[in-house]
């Protein structure tokens, strides 16, 4: 099954997911790739790469909303806030990941990080919602294209999204505050298992995050 077939399967309720895109929340237009918000990011994984230090510095400089600065710099800010936004590839059955996608979650429990929740727009979050609305991935080499995947709503991914969701454990995606949501992001052409990629992604509530991971 290729990516297009899988997405069509989701749209028409076919396949192994029962997540029908019955509504599309307020649509967000992500900043264009290469916009000022993207800034200059390292293309290759630096030998001394430290995602916590990098994201703290970049975040305090503006890529993370000021309203979140106190949390990320608090004594338990790394575990509860910074680490919570760093991507990792979860161990999931291959059948859940169609060709052309990379499964991504945020906040690796094996590193002691809090798991990132996901929430639909509500009064509690100012009608904004809380999920990653875009994920950009490129192979961590000098010359490689960056591919962006969009997620226009949660818990239904929405027919205008280019990505989709599956659920860790196959339960209800809303359980545990949405913490079992697995994002299926487009695998850029030429990226193979074992490659290091750069992930640049945007949480609607908490801004932009950057890390290098092995897929």
**Residues lying near Fe ion in the complex (CB under 5 A):** 203, 205-206
CB of residue 84 to Fe ion, shortest distance in Å: 7
Q: Which is nearer to Fe ion, 86 or 144 (CB)?
A: 86
Q: Which is nearer to Fe ion, 139 or 206 (CB)?
A: 206
Q: Which residues make Cβ contacts (< 8 Å) with residue 75, sequence separation at least 6?
A: none
Count the helices and strands in the chain (H runs, E runs): 4, 8
- E-strand stretches of the chain: 87-88, 101-106, 132-139, 146-150, 164-167, 181-186, 196-203, 207-214
CB of residue 117 to Fe ion, shortest distance in Å: 7
Q: Cβ distance 50 to 185 under 8 Å?
A: no
Q: Which is nearer to Fe ion, 7 or 153 (CB)?
A: 153
| Greatest CA separation for the chain | 47
Q: Which is nearer to Fe ion, 200 or 206 (CB)?
A: 206
Neighbour-count burial of 154, counting CB atoms closer than 10 A to its CB (0-12 exposed, 13-18 middle, 19+ buried): buried
CB of residue 175 to Fe ion, shortest distance in Å: 18
CB of residue 206 to Fe ion, shortest distance in Å: 4
Q: Which is nearer to Fe ion, 83 or 103 (CB)?
A: 83
CA distance 17 to 9: 9
Peptide bond into 155 cis (omega under 30): yes
CB of residue 18 to Fe ion, shortest distance in Å: 26
């Amino acid at each position: 099954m290729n990516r297009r077939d899988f997405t069509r399967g989701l749209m028409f309720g076919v396949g192994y997911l029962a997540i029908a895109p019955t509504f599309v929340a307020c649509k967000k237009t992500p900043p264009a790739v290469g916009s000022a918000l993207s800034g200059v990011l390292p293309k290759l994984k630096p030998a001394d790469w430290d995602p916590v230090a990098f994201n703290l510095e970049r975040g305090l400089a503006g890529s993370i909303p000021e309203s979140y600065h106190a949390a990320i710099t608090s004594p338990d800010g790394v575990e509860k806030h910074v680490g919570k936004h760093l991507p990792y590839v979860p161990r999931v059955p291959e059948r859940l990941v169609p060709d052309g996608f990379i499964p991504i979650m945020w906040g690796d429990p094996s590193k002691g990080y809090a798991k990132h929740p996901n929430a639909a727009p509500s009064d509690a979050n100012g009608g904004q919602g809380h999920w990653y609305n875009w994920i950009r991935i490129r192979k961590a080499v000098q010359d490689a294209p960056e591919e962006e995947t969009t997620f226009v709503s949660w818990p239904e991914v929405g027919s205008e999204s280019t990505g989709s969701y599956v659920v860790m454990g196959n339960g209800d995606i809303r359980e545990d505050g949405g913490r079992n949501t697995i994002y299926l992001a487009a695998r850029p052409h030429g990226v193979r298992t074992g490659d290091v990629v750069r992930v640049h992604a945007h949480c609607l509530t908490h801004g932009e995050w950057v890390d290098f991971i092995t897929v």
